[in-house]
Amino acid sequence: MNIENDASGISHALTLAAQGMFITTPNPRVGCVIVKNGQVIGEGYTQPAGQAHAEVQALKDAASRGHDAHEATVYVTLEPCSHFGRTPPCADALINAGVSRVVAAIADPNPLVAGQGLAKLKASGIDVTCGVLEDEAREMNVGFFSRMQRGRPWVRMKVAASLDGRTALHNGQSQWITSEAARADGHWWRARACAILTGSGTVNQDDPQMTVRGIDTPRQPLKIIVDSKLQISPKAKILEGSVLIVAAKPDQEKETILRNCGAEVIYLPNAHGKVDLSALMAELGKRQINELHVEGGFKLNGALIETGCVDELLVYLAPTLLGDAQGMFNLPALNTLEGRRDLQFHEIKQIGVDLRILARFV
């Protein structure tokens, strides 16, 4: 494969980074390409936490092909790390390999790196360029950047609704409003998240598994349940696997039962006896959750939006009308349009017969 310029080098590295979409958490998804005389001699992407980063993978790949990386150009989607974590610094590996140039798409927001990797490379006489396809590289790791810069995950709220914005009948029936293709696509979004959040109402009403199905992924996201009064049944399907239950009012008997089911229970009350959702986001940041996928009912959805916890909406609209039924969000009525919450359409795509809209709060 020929690499004609820096943009094509980073573009190829981004396709490699995407191959680590479901496996790298809590680390960022990073791709790396090593080029010599315009030809790719090695490539790689970040492996699961504790294993090789993209740069080391690419160097190993070059060696396995019988190539020497000396005087080569390296294209990487994130600044090479400069510190010892679970693995040694990637900057050192590139220096030791004798590469002549490193092109990074974007600087690492991790305070332990934050330009130090690039500085280390420059100090060793390596030509360094940073800022090629920067927006695309940030998108690849939108959750990692959120956690590093804001101390909380990137929160994506998924909603499946009719064209008139209804998510369920008043009796709770909602399966299925959208098509099988849309539901399958939703599992891809679940798979890329570090955790899936829902509420006790959804658990009690639908008894969902909240797992990734139909996607080849080596891990299941952590399941998080907002359950202020610990009201979910110990027989709920969602309790299979790793589960975090967030409550507001202590109940030792119920807590013990849920812990015996394998769940972790924590308390984050607000002044109104509900779960403090903002405190929950900070807690998830501390737990290294990069991307949080929300699949809740209209009450939890509204509360999350009201507290400013949601970054973007992932809405699947089916070409059908349900009339008087449950809406997407339980939000207070407005007296003037000045109180509306504005979003920007980030992506609109047809999935099967349904429309998928990705919209971000501004």
Say which residues have a Cβ less than 8 Å from residue 85's Cβ, sequence separation at least 6.
112
Chain center to CA of 183 = 18
**Residue-wise DSSP of 138-191:** HHHTHHHHHHHHHSS-EEEEEEEEETTSEEE-TTS--TTSS-HHHHHHHHHHHH
- The answer to whether 149 touches 111, Cβ cutoff 8 Å, is no
Is 55 annotated as catalytic?
yes
Say which residues have a Cβ less than 8 Å from residue 355's Cβ, sequence separation at least 6.
316, 317, 319, 348, 349
Say which residues have a Cβ less than 8 Å from residue 104's Cβ, sequence separation at least 6.
76, 77, 78, 79, 80, 118, 128, 129, 130, 131, 132
Amino acid letter, 2: N
What stretch of H or E contains 358? strand 354-361
Place of tokens 């699961």: 48
* Burial class, 50, CB count within 10 angstroms (exposed 0-12 / middle 13-18 / buried 19+): exposed
Neighbouring C-alpha atoms within 13 Å toward the C-beta of 319 = 6
Question: Which three-class secondary structure string do you get for 176-200?
Answer: CCCCHHHHHHHHHHHHHCCEEEEEH
- The answer to whether 15 touches 40, Cβ cutoff 8 Å, is no
Rounded Cα distance between 16 and 61, Å, is 13
Say which residues have a Cβ less than 8 Å from residue 357's Cβ, sequence separation at least 6.
313, 314, 315, 316, 317, 345, 347, 348
Active-site position among 55, 79, 291, 295: 55
Place of tokens 């998080």: 224
- The answer to whether 147 touches 195, Cβ cutoff 8 Å, is no
* Residues identified as active-site: 55
